[in-house]
């Protein structure tokens, strides 16, 4: 399981929680940190709501075991997730059976109240083979854990919660965009359409349960950017957090690194002399990204007839694989690539990363691209200015500004020397500021600080190592 067998006062045992082992950026940060801790001989367990990998040190939350026998029985006869995703009939049947199994939970969902019915949550400390010294939560929303368990858990271990988005301080949305109602407790929500969406306005009630839980758990908050720290500190909840620490995400620079571009292009079947523009985001289903600007920029290139290099747009994160051509522009769309080595190859084969966005709490793909030697053209949205050096490693453009972003891309297309210089500076910038090694060092320091502070408040007779079962049902 972990790289260690004891839990001495001089060692660390870290228990992390995440929604999944493989999914988006937040999940990848959690998994990378977990693996890096293990490689350093630190005992680490990652517990996830949905497990798709085969790592022995990653465990799936055991909520089903703690549900009623009636609910367990009906869940067993319901169509599985794969079947429901393929058939509308199976999807409806699954929803009806699950509602019959747990009517109270179904009612909460209908009323747009956060789903907190995850009974295994209060047993989570028992999922580590040895008693954890610290509990570290990831991911910005509900859907895998009952946060109301944190009050009891916080009596036994310190809690660190990395806010990868604004959900912990809003009534429902992952990013508030131009809405400021989260500063006044999300009364009368004006954007029920912001994901995670609500069918009816219970944003204030969702905000209130968070306020009550956070105030009772004394959470040590981590945010990946100064922009996120500013948002958290403006929240009415801010006074109830034990601390707020800015700790940028890091990438594995052994994987995300420059490579022989022509060689990688040959392996991927890409034109050797094309100008390749890469986007890595689920634009089709994520309103916090800006699909309209991407489409308009593609159309702008299609209308050009300047005799310069052919333009190839690669979009990683679509719902299906497509290959189409419009004028001199080739568009390649592919589903999201979970394997980091394979994902890095697309960065290494490209000339520039284009990242139109409406909001970002950090921008992991911006850092990955720069680590691979790509200049970046990025929307000035949320925390993105903190992830690059505008004019040196890439360019910022005003959010939703097609004209400026197209001009920046055209400038890089026509100037190979500038691309090369910016790419070299981008790699240097990423390696100086956003490595997995640096991120892990800072988290270890924070773990030790929180553990030391927590133990200093315990009675002299208290010892965390006395009895594992003391924590299993806290």
pLDDT at residue 2 greater than cutoff 50: no
As given in the structure block, the two tokens for residue 120 are 């295994």
pLDDT at residue 365 greater than cutoff 90: yes
- The long-range contacts involving 96-104, CB below 8 angstroms and separated by at least 24 positions, are 98/74, 100/74, 101/70, 101/71, 101/73, 101/74, 101/75, 102/67, 102/68, 102/71
The 3-state DSSP class for residue 276 equals: strand
User: Is there a shared CATH topology between the 13-67+102-250+435-472 domain and the 261-433 domain?
Assistant: yes
Query: For residue 38, what pLDDT is reported?
Result: 96
Residues 6+ apart with CB under 8 A from 56: 1
141 pLDDT tier (thresholds 50, 70, 90):
low
Instruction: Please compute the mean of the pLDDT values over residues 451-473 and round it to a whole number.
Output: 64
Q: Where are the domains of the chain?
A: 13-67+102-250+435-472, 261-433
81-113 pLDDT, tens per residue?
Answer: 888 888 999 999 999 999 999 999 999 989 999
pLDDT at residue 322 greater than cutoff 90: no
Q: Which of 140, 138, 187, 145 is nearest to 167 (CA)?
A: 140
338 pLDDT tier (thresholds 50, 70, 90):
confident
Strands (DSSP E) contained in 299-345 are: 311-318, 322-326, 329-335
Instruction: Please compute the mean of the pLDDT values over residues 195-211 and round it to a whole number.
Output: 93
- What percentage of the chain's residues is helix, strand, coil (to nearest 5)? 45, 15, 40
Query: For residue 10, what pLDDT is reported?
Result: 52
- CATH code for the structural domain at 261-433: 3.40.50.2000
Helix (H) or strand (E) holding 44: strand 43-50
Query: For residue 458, what pLDDT is reported?
Result: 78
The 3-state DSSP class for residue 171 equals: coil
Q: What is the pTM of this model?
A: 0.91
As given in the structure block, the two tokens for residue 98 are 């699950």
Give CA–CA dist 37/447, Å, rounded.
Answer: 12
Query: For residue 438, what pLDDT is reported?
Result: 98
Share above pLDDT 90 across residues of the chain, in percent, rounded to a whole number: 77
Q: Which residue has the tokens 């994901």?
A: 195
As given in the structure block, the two tokens for residue 156 are 């036994």
Query: For residue 471, what pLDDT is reported?
Result: 45
What homologous superfamily does CATH list for 13-67+102-250+435-472? Glycogen Phosphorylase B; (3.40.50.2000)
293-313 pLDDT, tens per residue?
Answer: 999 999 999 988 787 889 999
Query: For residue 213, what pLDDT is reported?
Result: 94
pLDDT at residue 342 greater than cutoff 70: yes
37-58 pLDDT, tens per residue?
Answer: 999 999 999 999 989 888 888 9
Work out the widest C-alpha separation in the chain, in whole angstroms: 79
């Amino acid at each position: 399981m972990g790289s260690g067998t004891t839990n001495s006062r001089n060692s660390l045992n870290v228990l992390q929680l995440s929604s999944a082992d493989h999914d988006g950026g937040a999940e990848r940060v959690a998994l990378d940190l977990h693996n890096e801790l293990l490689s350093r001989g630190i005992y680490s367990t990652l517990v996830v709501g949905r497990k798709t990998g085969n790592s022995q040190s990653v465990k799936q939350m055991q909520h089903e075991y703690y549900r009623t026998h009636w609910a367990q029985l009906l869940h067993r006869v319901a169509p599985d997730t794969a079947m429901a995703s393929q058939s509308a009939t199976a999807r409806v049947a699954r929803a009806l059976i699950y509602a019959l199994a747990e009517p109270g939970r179904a009612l909460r969902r209908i009323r747009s109240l956060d789903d907190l019915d995850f009974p295994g949550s209060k047993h989570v400390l028992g999922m580590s083979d040895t008693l954890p010294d610290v509990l570290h939560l990831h991911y910005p929303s509900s859907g895998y854990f009952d946060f109301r368990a944190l009050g009891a858990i916080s009596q036994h271990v310190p809690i660190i919660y990395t806010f990868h988005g604004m959900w912990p301080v809003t009534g429902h949305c992952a990013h508030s965009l131009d809405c400021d109602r989260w500063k006044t407790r999300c009364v009368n929500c004006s954007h029920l359409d912001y994901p995670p969406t609500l069918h009816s306005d219970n944003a204030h009630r969702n905000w209130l349960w968070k306020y009550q839980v956070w105030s009772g758990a004394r959470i040590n908050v981590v945010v990946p950017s100064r922009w996120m720290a500013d948002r958290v500190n403006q929240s009415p909840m801010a006074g109830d957090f034990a601390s707020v620490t800015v700790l940028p995400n890091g990438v594995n620079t052994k994987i995300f690194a420059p490579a022989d571009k022509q060689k990688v292009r040959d392996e991927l079947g890409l034109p050797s002399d094309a100008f390749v523009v890469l986007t890595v985001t689920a634009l089709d289903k994520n309103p916090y990204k800006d699909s309209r600007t991407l489409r308009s920029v593609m159309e702008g290139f299609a209308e050009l007839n300047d005799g310069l290099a052919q333009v190839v747009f690669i979009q990683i994160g679509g719902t299906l694989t497509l290959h189409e051509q419009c004028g001199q522009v080739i568009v390649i769309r592919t589903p999201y690539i979970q394997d980091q080595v394979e994902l890095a190859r697309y960065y290494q084969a490209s000339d520039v990363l284009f990242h139109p966005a409406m909001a970002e709490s950090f921008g992991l793909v911006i850092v990955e691209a720069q680590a691979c030697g790509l200049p970046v053209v990025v929307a000035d949205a949320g925390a993105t200015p903190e992830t690059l050096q505008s004019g040196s490693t890439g360019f910022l453009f005003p959010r939703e500004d097609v004209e400026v972003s197209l001009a920046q891309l055209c400038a890089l297309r026509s100037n190979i020397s500038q691309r090369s210089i910016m790419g070299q500076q981008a790699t240097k910038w990423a390696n100086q500021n956003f490595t997995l090694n640096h991120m892990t060092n800072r988290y270890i320091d924070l773990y030790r600080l929180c553990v030391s502070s927590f133990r200093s408040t315990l009675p002299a007779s208290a010892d965390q190592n006395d009895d594992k079962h003391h924590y299993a049902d806290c």
